[in-house]
Amino acid sequence: MSSRSSTPIRSLEPKPPISFLGAGGAHDVHLGNSAALLTWEGETFLIDCGFTVYPRLVQKNLVEKPQAILITHLHDDHIGSLSALLYHRHFLSKLPPTPLLAGTPELRQKLHTYLAYLMGEPLERFATILAPEAYRPYLKSFDTSGLHMPHMPSAAYLFTSPSLNLLYSGDIGKPVPALPSLATLPMLWVFHDVAFHRTPTHAHYTELIPFYEQGYNLWGYHCDPAQAPPDNPIPLVHSTFLLG
């Protein structure tokens, strides 16, 4: 960590291949639900699929673009249009079942129950639910269950490679606990939820500032930039990573 402080690696270039379909909080509908398309080793992942996401994918002709979908947790602003997307990909696009990646056994089990209730069995017509690590060895999950909402399963995800690493926090009430242990990863980009008011469900910007000051290449999402106080130094994805 000390070498990080003396030689910050924070840099704007090269930007990782991530485009946010929206970057708002749960009720910032005008900013879109927080979700992103990320291309890694030639494969495109959709991260989360809230209720504004499927319409956005249709509008941008991107319904067929992701090869797999990562889910951080089961709130509607993260899965609210997932069944519509899976139906579209199955019935209209005639795609094979979509790999759905979820980072804990409980998250996978609840995701299966939820989708089977909405879409009918066998769910395997539409989707195959897997651990991210079982899908691609460069993916790593961090169990953040209970840190966003009590008793709610959730996960953060790390995309790894020798030259670029990317952490996506999902929603979490504090900085991702694994964050300090990732300090030595080369070219680490961190996309973290951020809140500008005190809440147990999202990371307050003042708790993220120490990481930012240590040189972490940290970007905030799941917020309204209009609410950012003047002393917030953390850059927000809205200015740089939104899909045009």
Which residues of this protein are in contact with Zn ion, per CB under 5 A? 75, 171
Closer CB to Zn ion, 75 or 108, in the complex: 75
Which residues, including other chains, have CB under 8 Å from residue 58's CB and lie 6 or more apart?
Answer: 88
Which residue's beta carbon is nearest to the bound Zn ion? 75
Termini Cα distance of the chain: 36
The answer to whether the beta carbons of residues 87 and 95 sit under 8 Å apart is no
Amino acid, res. 146: G
Closer CB to Zn ion, 63 or 167, in the complex: 167
Closer CB to Zn ion, 75 or 136, in the complex: 75
Report which DSSP code applies to 180.
Answer: G
User: What residue ranges in 86-144 does DSSP mark as E strands?
Assistant: 98-102, 127-130, 139-143
Closer CB to Zn ion, 170 or 215, in the complex: 170
Q: Please report how close the Cβ of residue 186 comes to Zn ion at its closest, in angstroms.
A: 30
Closer CB to Zn ion, 75 or 89, in the complex: 75
Closer CB to Zn ion, 16 or 170, in the complex: 170
Q: Please report how close the Cβ of residue 39 comes to Zn ion at its closest, in angstroms.
A: 25
Q: Please report how close the Cβ of residue 81 comes to Zn ion at its closest, in angstroms.
A: 15
Q: Please report how close the Cβ of residue 64 comes to Zn ion at its closest, in angstroms.
A: 27
Q: Please report how close the Cβ of residue 193 comes to Zn ion at its closest, in angstroms.
A: 8
Q: In what order do the strands lie in the sheet with 165-168?
A: 139-143, 155-159, 165-168, 188-193, 217-221
Helix (H, G, I), strand (E, B) or coil at 143: strand
Q: Please report how close the Cβ of residue 203 comes to Zn ion at its closest, in angstroms.
A: 12
188 membership: H or E segment, kind and range:
strand 188-193
Report which DSSP code applies to 16.
Answer: P
